[in-house]
């Protein structure tokens, strides 16, 4: 089918997320391989966003496809009450790469569903109701996960589920407490969180959720002292610490899981995306030993039809094998350092860049209208102007796909990328930066 007919068919029947349907104008993709995608007209795009931060191993990996074919010849699905070899093996493999005693895996369809189940687990375990989650966060689009979310995507779902309380986290570049650096911002944020918990009644708080590094709200990297301080606060009052590693896990930050950077083990971890790299949907809620022991003789009231899907579990096994055999976690760390160096060089050349933040192959360029005052170029929720729309069109024209939002340009390529491919991609990014410079 030619591209014009395919586009017409799509627009007659497909509903797209997060936008007015009249504004949907999707590029029709036909195939993908490693870090590249091709549209139906044959144009090549560099996938510098790893799909939606999930295609961590890259597209079209033959080892994973072979494992999927072999599993399809055995069984694709059995009911959730049955065990399978692939579910048991994958669970063991996950326990070997997660930090600390996070050894017990409950399977879901994706990250948002994992968050929903973590809310249930925390409330059941503690007998408490309140769930703390951060402003400038994203936890998913289902009822509980979107209530936890601390950005405008939450608004359409309000009032949301009861019992969710928001707190401010650190933000070194644009601190809500007016500090000048990341360490000060972390200490102020921690002091405020302690005060908030005290005023709220710590005996009423079941859990504190955090993205170890804030994802689609700006790749905001906390200090180690802040994360350890939150862990200590939770321990003091019997509050569970829940790390949402849906985006940050599976090598994205240069470690298997982002919490390793801070030397902290959460009580519960939620993850998805990179566990199968998007080849098949799969998510996980992972318990520490004390949570497992509680539910040993208390029923866990959760689960959906496709939890622990056999084909998905086989895909997860093959993904972990690729991470290890191709040394993708190490590549993320090493090339992440290179990516950060190159982005800092771009900052010197482009006055519209206010800040660069990078951890592994997970980076954000924050735009500004004035470096001295840190005035935004687009503003929160595009309150000043829409920069991301025109910028993404320029980058698409250059053959570069990456995610832009408000004042943020996110750079998150598949972990199999090479140094030369980073250089090639950043040359295309510069075309977009010339546009943002022109707005000053």
Domains and CATH numbers, the chain: 3-57+327-438 (3.90.1150.10), 62-325 (3.40.640.10)
pLDDT band at 352 (very low <50, low <70, confident <90, very high): very high
Per-residue buried b or exposed e for 389-411, using 16+ beta carbons within 10 Å of the residue's own CB: eebbebbbebbbbbbbbbbbbbb
- Beta-bridged to residue 404, according to DSSP, are 409
Tell me: pLDDT of 354 over 90. yes
Contact between residue 153 and residue 18 where contact means Cβ atoms under 8 Å apart:
yes
**Would residue 42 be called left, alpha or beta, if left means φ above 0 and alpha means ψ between -120 and 50 degrees?**
left
* The model's pTM: 0.96
Q: Position of tokens 């859990």? A: 207
What is the rounded CA–CA span in Å between residue 114 and residue 121?
Answer: 10
Backbone phi and psi for residue 158, each to the nearest 5 degrees, phi listed first: -70, 145
- Mean pLDDT over residues 402-428, rounded? 98
pLDDT band at 347 (very low <50, low <70, confident <90, very high): very high
> 363-406: per-residue pLDDT in tens?
999 999 999 999 999 999 999 999 999 999 999 999 999 999 99
Backbone phi and psi for residue 75, each to the nearest 5 degrees, phi listed first: -165, 135
pLDDT value of position 295: 98
> 199-223: per-residue pLDDT in tens?
999 999 999 999 999 999 999 999 9
pLDDT value of position 366: 98
Helix axes 419-438, 388-398, angle to 10 degrees: 140
Instruction: Identify the DSSP state of 62.
Output: H
DSSP for 250-276, please give it: TTTTSSSSGGGGGT---SEEEE-GGGT
- Please name the helix (run of DSSP H) or strand (run of DSSP E) that holds residue 310, with its range, or none: helix 310-325
Nearest Cα to Cα of residue 169 among 188, 152, 155: 188
In Å, what is the CA distance from 331 to each residue of 251, 393, 426? 9, 30, 18
> 48-93: per-residue pLDDT in tens?
999 999 999 999 999 999 999 999 999 999 999 999 999 999 999 9
Length of the chain equals 440
Tell me: pLDDT of 1 over 90. no
Nearest Cα to Cα of residue 309 among 109, 17, 66, 43: 109
DSSP E strand stretches across 43-127: 44-47, 104-108
């Amino acid at each position: 089918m030619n591209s014009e007919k395919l586009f017409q068919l799509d627009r007659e029947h497909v509903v797209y997320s997060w936008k007015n349907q009249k504004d949907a104008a999707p590029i029709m993709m036909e195939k993908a391989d490693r870090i590249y995608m091709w549209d139906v007209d044959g144009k090549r795009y560099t996938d510098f966003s790893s799909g939606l931060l999930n295609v961590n191993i890259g597209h079209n990996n033959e080892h994973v496809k072979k494992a999927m074919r072999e599993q399809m010849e055995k069984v694709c699905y059995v009911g959730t009450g049955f065990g399978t070899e692939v579910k048991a093996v994958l669970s063991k493999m996950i326990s070997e790469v997660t930090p600390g005693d996070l050894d017990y895996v409950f399977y879901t369809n994706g990250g948002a569903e994992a968050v929903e189940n973590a809310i249930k687990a925390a409330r059941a375990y503690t007998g408490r109701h309140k769930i703390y989650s951060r402003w400038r966060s994203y936890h998913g689009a289902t009822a509980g996960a979107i209530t936890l979310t601390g950005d405008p995507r939450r608004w359409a779902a309000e009032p949301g589920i009861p019992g969710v309380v928001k707190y401010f986290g650190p933000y070194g570049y644009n601190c809500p407490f007016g500090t000048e650096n990341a360490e000060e911002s972390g200490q102020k944020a921690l002091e405020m969180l302690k005060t908030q918990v005290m005023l709220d009644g710590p005996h009423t708080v079941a859990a504190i959720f955090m993205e170890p590094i804030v994802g689609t709200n700006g790749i905001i990297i906390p200090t180690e002292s802040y994360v350890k301080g939150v862990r200590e606060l939770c321990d003091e009052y019997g509050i569970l610490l829940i790390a949402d590693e849906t985006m940050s896990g599976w090598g994205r930050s240069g470690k298997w899981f982002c919490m390793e950077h801070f030397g902290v083990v959460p009580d519960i971890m939620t993850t998805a995306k990179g566990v199968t790299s998007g080849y098949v949907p799969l998510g996980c809620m992972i318990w520490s030993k004390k949570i497992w022991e509680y539910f040993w003789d208390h029923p866990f009231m959760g689960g959906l039809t496709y939890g622990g899907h056999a084909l998905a579990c086989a895909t997860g096994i093959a993904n972990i094998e690729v991470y290890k055999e191709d040394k993708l976690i190490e590549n993320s760390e090493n090339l992440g350092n290179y990516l950060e160096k190159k982005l800092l060089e771009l900052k010197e050349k482009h006055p519209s860049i206010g800040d660069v933040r990078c951890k592994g192959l997970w980076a954000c360029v924050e735009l500004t209208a004035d470096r001295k005052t840190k005035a935004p170029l687009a503003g929160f929720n595009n309150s000043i102007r829409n920069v991301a729309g025109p910028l993404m069109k320029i980058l698409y024209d250059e053959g570069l796909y990456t995610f832009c939002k408000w004042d943020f340009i996110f750079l998150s390529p598949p972990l199999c990328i090479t140094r030369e491919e980073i250089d090639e991609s950043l040359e295309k990014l510069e075309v977009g930066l010339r546009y943002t410079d022109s707005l000053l």
